[in-house]
Amino acid sequence: MSTMPPAAVAADPLESVADTRPVRNRRRRERSVGASIALHATLIVATFSALFPILWVVLSSIKPASEIRRTEIQVFASPTLDNYRRLLTETDFPTWFVNSVVVAAFTMVIGIAMSATAGYALSRFNFPGKRGLMWVFLLTQMFPVAILIVPIYTIMANLGLIDTKPSLVIAYCTVAVPFCAWMLRGYFDTIPRELDEAAALDGLGPFGTFWRVILPLARPGLAVTAFYTFLTAWGEVAYAIAFMQGSNHYTLGAGLQTFVPQFSPRWELLTSGAVLITLPAAIVFFFAQRHLVAGLTAGGTKG
């Protein structure tokens, strides 16, 4: 007969888990409520801080000039569209708008072409200096406009392009193309190379593969490139002021600066012009928004 003491009955592990689960759930629920309140409060403050300047500009654009300069806050005292009428009929704003459309359109088309071909070459081909070129693209983003504007101005002056639209297009492409080429290179890396091999078996050359196979699949990346290059040219001020000398050659960014003299800014024209400037950018964003998230995500996670 065995003298071993009877084994103690082990506690049911499910019962122990059940005993502690309500406490843990209650603590998690208490923490989540507090965290949720703090998170929503932070988001509300951040949203208000971001939207308040926009709301102020929009409301100021429909106020008479005398009411904009008042210290007391009046939201809808006497709304009027006279500021927009004066802006469009008494200033060179329509000319500036056309100049900006031309410069932004050419910058967008040339920027897409150069960025797509450079990004595809960096993604698919091996050539001497490839790694160095990638580093050059990356390092150029570290230099501010204040450093680049003088050498670019000197080059444009030697070429006789000062006070011409091509000078702005070239300057904006030097800003936008390196970043977009780097981003598109990362996006092209997400497209399987087997597609290139299959296209080669079908008799397509490198450019035919790029044009007929790769580009249709890269629409999200191209949408991001189009949006970025357009905004680079549309809202830029420094190059436009430095390169453009005549008022009839100004773009919108440079033209609005004329409404800010040294002592008495013309807020009614400045705010109404700012509202009209945002409309084309909003339209471009509306058509490109479907592809923006996919393009930025793919381009930022590869390479």
pLDDT, one tens digit per residue, over 77-120 is 678 888 999 999 999 999 999 999 999 999 999 999 999 999 99
Q: Which helix (H) or strand (E) holds 217?
A: helix 215-217
pLDDT of residue 7: 47
Mean pLDDT of the chain: 83
Within this chain, do residues 39 and 107 fall inside the same structural domain, yes or no? no
Q: Between 26 and 293, where is the model more confident? A: 293
Q: Between 115 and 18, where is the model more confident? A: 115
Within this chain, do residues 193 and 135 fall inside the same structural domain, yes or no? yes
AA letter at 143:
F
**237/96 Cα distance (integer angstroms):** 12
Within this chain, do residues 155 and 222 fall inside the same structural domain, yes or no? yes
Q: Are 223 and 295 in contact (CB under 8 A)?
A: yes
Residue 9 in domain? no
Structure tokens at 63: 């106020």
Residue 181 in domain? yes
Residue 244 in domain? yes
Residue 103 in domain? yes
pLDDT of residue 303: 44
Within this chain, do residues 40 and 175 fall inside the same structural domain, yes or no? no
pTM confidence score: 0.78
pLDDT of residue 62: 87
Q: Are 148 and 162 in contact (CB under 8 A)?
A: no
Within this chain, do residues 111 and 210 fall inside the same structural domain, yes or no? yes
3-class DSSP assignment, residue 259: coil
pLDDT of residue 27: 54
pLDDT of residue 18: 47
Residue 76 is classified by DSSP as S
Residue 14 has pLDDT above 60, yes or no: no
CA distances from 39 to 32, 34, 36, 244 (A): 10, 9, 5, 47
Mean pLDDT throughout 51-70? 84
**7/144 Cα distance (integer angstroms):** 77
- Percentage of the chain lying above the pLDDT 90 cut: 43
CB-facing half-sphere around the CA of 182: CA atoms within 13 A: 18
Residue 179 has pLDDT above 80, yes or no: yes
Structure tokens at 28: 């998690």
Q: Are 174 and 236 in contact (CB under 8 A)?
A: no
Residue 196 in domain? yes
Least confident interval from 8-22, 86-100, 276-290: 8-22
Please state the domain count of the chain: 2
Residue 219 has pLDDT above 60, yes or no: yes
Residue 191 in domain? yes
Residue 15 in domain? no
Mean pLDDT throughout 147-164? 93
pLDDT of residue 293: 63
Within this chain, do residues 56 and 94 fall inside the same structural domain, yes or no? no
Looking at residue 96, which CATH number applies to its domain? Answer: 1.10.3720.10
Within this chain, do residues 28 and 141 fall inside the same structural domain, yes or no? no
Residue 293 in domain? yes
Contacts 24+ apart (CB under 8 A), 205-214: 206/124, 210/116, 210/117, 210/120, 214/120, 214/188
Q: What are phi and psi of 291, to 5 degrees?
A: -100, -10
Within this chain, do residues 156 and 257 fall inside the same structural domain, yes or no? yes
Within this chain, do residues 158 and 33 fall inside the same structural domain, yes or no? no
pLDDT band at 144 (very low <50, low <70, confident <90, very high): confident
Provide the domain limits for residue 252: 83-301
E strands, 2-51, are none
pLDDT band at 141 (very low <50, low <70, confident <90, very high): confident
Within this chain, do residues 55 and 154 fall inside the same structural domain, yes or no? no
**96/129 Cα distance (integer angstroms):** 42
Apex 38 CA angle, 33 and 42, nearest 5: 145
Highest mean pLDDT among 96-110, 126-140, 260-274: 96-110
Tell me how far the alpha carbon of residue 183 is from its chain's centroid.
13
pLDDT of residue 300: 47
Within this chain, do residues 38 and 148 fall inside the same structural domain, yes or no? no
The owner of tokens 């436009």 is: 240
Within this chain, do residues 31 and 138 fall inside the same structural domain, yes or no? no
